[in-house]
Amino acid sequence: MSAPATRIRNFSVTALLGMVAVATTTIARAADPLPSWNHGSARQSIITFVERVTKESSPDFVPVADRIAVFDNDGTLWSEQPMYVQLAFVLDRVRQLAPQHPEWKEKEPFKSVLAGDLKAIAAAGETGLMELLAATHGGMTAEQFDKIVIDWIAAARHPKYARPYTQCVYRPMVELIAFLKANGFKVYIVSGGGVEFMRPWTAAVYGVPPEQVIGSSIKTRYEVGADGRPVIVRLPEIDFIDDKAGKPVAIHKVIGKRPIAAFGNSDGDFEMLEYVTSGPGLRLGVLVHHDDAEREVAYDRKSHIGRLERGLDEAARRSWTLISMKADWKSVFPSPTPDQ
């Protein structure tokens, strides 16, 4: 049995995630493919686009092979507030590993992490973050990291919603992925987050298999142990940052063709939307606008996470669709599950 199947079998929240997946499948087959969406211009622009590219008699028809859609993850498919989920993982890992590293008590940025001083961590800047990433994401095999992620994401809870992070995904967007797939689209995630932090759970949660997940990565090396068993070793060194102009570069590198639809929420997605919507023929660019202070968090121009400024300024001129979470979504998260 290959790794991913093992992953899912060992995944203690499988049942939980399965409920989301099953619900989504049922929804996609029902009369309304987007039941968590209010009727409005955002929903309509998405549906019209899909109709025009899938109808064979349409002048905008696109063959199945070219129906590629790309989605950002943090803030587009799941919550990125009050901090990126992967940062919560990093902080938890530092705390878990601290007993083996007594020197961290006196060494920044570890000292600040152990003290829970988020401001000091932020002040440590990129150098500090790289040190944290190296210590928590490198120095083990790919299989070991896979298990670490699976165990963490099963146990961790969102600080505000008090539910697993995999239940802090946006229900309307999960429906949207299923709707696109039902219409012959191949859906990719193109995230600034670490690719190996996402792959263990995206198939179960979003219906997106590991090979359709693109993200930031660290360098790896192929090694054969003394037992003759080959492993992929994760090195404490950044390979690629999949953000901003890195997104179209990664799309070209991995997919090798220009997608026809792109979904994001911040200026980190600007170039991806620009690249996708500049192609010839009908294209769709969509930004999730976090304007729902009551059900989620309202943030855009001034936010230090997921800042959306240029995207807001240029959306109209570029004919990009803005999703108002407040107006366009009936519900934000999946319904509470029995363990809530």
Coarse DSSP helix, strand, coil percentages of the chain, rounded to the nearest 5 percent: 45, 15, 35
Single residue of 29, 157, 160, 252 touching a copy of itself by CB under 8 A = 252
For residue 48, give Cα distances in angstroms to 42, 280, 322, 334: 10, 18, 15, 25
Pairwise CA distance, residues 189 & 195, whole Å? 9
Identify which of residues 1 and 31 has a Cβ nearer to a copy of itself in the complex: 1
271 is a site residue for a copy of itself (CB under 8 A): yes
Q: Which of residues 21-80 bind a copy of itself (CB under 8 A)?
A: 62-63, 65-66, 68
260 is a site residue for a copy of itself (CB under 8 A): yes
How far apart are CB 120 and a copy of itself at their closest, in Å? Answer: 34
* Long-range Cβ contact pairs of 38-45 (< 8 A, separation 24 or more): 38/327, 38/328, 38/329, 38/330, 40/327, 40/328, 41/321, 42/286, 42/321, 42/322, 42/323, 42/324, 42/328, 43/328, 45/284, 45/286, 45/321
The per-type count for the chain, helices as H runs and strands as E runs, is 14, 8
Scanning 15-23, 165-173, 223-231, 287-295 for contacts with a copy of itself by CB under 8 A, the matching segment is 223-231
Pairwise CA distance, residues 36 & 189, whole Å? 21
237 is a site residue for a copy of itself (CB under 8 A): no
154 is a site residue for a copy of itself (CB under 8 A): no
Q: What would you report as the CA-atom Rg of the chain, rounded to the nearest whole angstrom?
A: 20
Size of the residue set binding a copy of itself (CB under 8 A): 51
Burial of 191 (0-12, 13-18, 19+ CB in 10 A): buried
284 is a site residue for a copy of itself (CB under 8 A): no
Single residue of 138, 210, 292, 298 touching a copy of itself by CB under 8 A = 210
**CA torsion through residues 214, 215, 220, 223, sign:** negative
253 is a site residue for a copy of itself (CB under 8 A): yes
Identify which of residues 255 and 305 has a Cβ nearer to a copy of itself in the complex: 255
254 is a site residue for a copy of itself (CB under 8 A): yes
Identify which of residues 150 and 213 has a Cβ nearer to a copy of itself in the complex: 213
- DSSP class of residue 291 equals B
Identify which of residues 221 and 304 has a Cβ nearer to a copy of itself in the complex: 221
How far apart are CB 204 and a copy of itself at their closest, in Å? Answer: 11
153 is a site residue for a copy of itself (CB under 8 A): no
Using CB under 8 A as the criterion, which residues of the chain lie in contact with a copy of itself when the complex forms? 1-6, 62-63, 65-66, 68, 142, 186, 195-196, 199, 203, 209-211, 213, 217, 220-222, 224, 228-230, 232, 239, 245-246, 248-249, 252-260, 271, 274-275, 278-281
